[in-house]
């Protein structure tokens, strides 16, 4: 962690302290966490103010924390017994770090100051909705459409919020963690009708690759390995 990064972090905290839930430095980058009510004000300031000038939105994506911290697999313990799988519902459940189910993450770049910053906006509402930032960064237009399509997060004020990846008649949002992995419907060509038709899925969701952890110690001690080769 460089001194310049710490100074920048403190600059952001002083400017937006009352608007933030928290802020931190992680993976060499500052992350600001906030609620939807503060999003537009903070984004506008980051874009316009001379000390920031984050004129480029590099990425925008959604997150679903529905099953955050929960694992239904025994991995290390089961692997040591020689069995391939160890499924048990609710094996591990830690306290959720985030109270909101959904979040939208924004990655911003300041070309003028050669800096990056990450925003994470938590959304408590159902349906999940947050203000669009497409009026600040035009690149948000398709990013927000993608997030709406895959997560069902609504962006108020978006000029054309409609699906961008899934079919026009698609029902549901594939990246929600309550969406079935096999989907709800499938398509096939009906030779009698001469067109593609929808029908309920005919496949069953199953795990094809067991989650097994194998500890390989052969190359842990390079010095011993090199001695043997000599």
Say which CATH number the domain at 146 has.
3.30.460.80
Structural domain includes residue 197: no
> Under a CB-based contact definition with an 8 Å cutoff, are residues 71 and 91 in contact?
yes
> Under a CB-based contact definition with an 8 Å cutoff, are residues 186 and 177 in contact?
no
Which pLDDT score, from 0 to 100, does residue 75 have? 56
If you average pLDDT over residues 186-213, what whole number do you get? 78
Structural domain includes residue 85: no
CA distance 119 to 58: 12
Structural domain includes residue 70: no
Q: Per the structure, how many domains does the chain have? A: 1
Which pLDDT score, from 0 to 100, does residue 225 have? 44
For the stretch 38-52, pLDDT in tens is 999 999 999 999 999
CA distance 12 to 6: 10
Sorting pLDDT into bands at 50, 70 and 90, what band is 11?
very high
- Between residues 210 and 185, which one has the greater pLDDT? 185
Structural domain includes residue 154: yes
The domain containing residue 119 runs over which residues? Answer: 18-65+100-172
CA distance 122 to 137: 20
Structural domain includes residue 25: yes
Structural domain includes residue 220: no
For the stretch 146-159, pLDDT in tens is 999 999 999 999 99
Structural domain includes residue 230: no
pTM above 0.95, yes or no: no
91-123 b/e (C-beta count within 10 Å ≥ 16 → b): eeeeeeeeebbbbbbbbbbbeeeebbbbbbbbb
């Amino acid at each position: 962690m460089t001194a310049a990064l710490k100074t920048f972090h403190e600059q952001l905290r002083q400017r937006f302290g009352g608007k933030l839930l928290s802020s931190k430095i992680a993976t060499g980058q500052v992350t600001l966490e906030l609620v939807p009510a503060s999003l537009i004000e903070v984004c506008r300031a980051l874009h316009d103010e001379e000390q920031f000038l984050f004129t480029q939105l590099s990425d925008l994506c959604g997150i679903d924390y529905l099953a955050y911290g929960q694992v239904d697999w025994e991995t290390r313990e089961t692997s040591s017994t020689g069995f391939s799988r160890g499924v048990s519902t609710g094996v591990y459940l830690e306290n959720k770090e985030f109270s909101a189910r959904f979040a939208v993450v924004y990655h911003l770049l300041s070309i003028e100051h050669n800096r990056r910053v990450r925003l994470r906006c938590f959304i408590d509402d159902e349906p999940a909705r947050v203000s669009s930032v497409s009026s600040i960064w035009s690149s948000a237009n398709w990013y927000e459409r993608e997030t709406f399509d895959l997560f069902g997060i609504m962006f108020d004020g978006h000029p054309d919020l409609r699906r961008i990846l899934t079919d026009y008649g698609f029902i549901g949002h594939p990246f929600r963690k309550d969406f079935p992995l096999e989907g709800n419907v499938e398509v096939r060509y009906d030779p009698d009708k001469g067109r593609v038709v929808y029908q309920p899925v005919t496949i069953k969701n199953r795990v094809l690759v067991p989650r097994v952890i194998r500890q390989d110690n052969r190359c842990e001690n390079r010095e011993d390995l090199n001695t043997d080769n000599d």
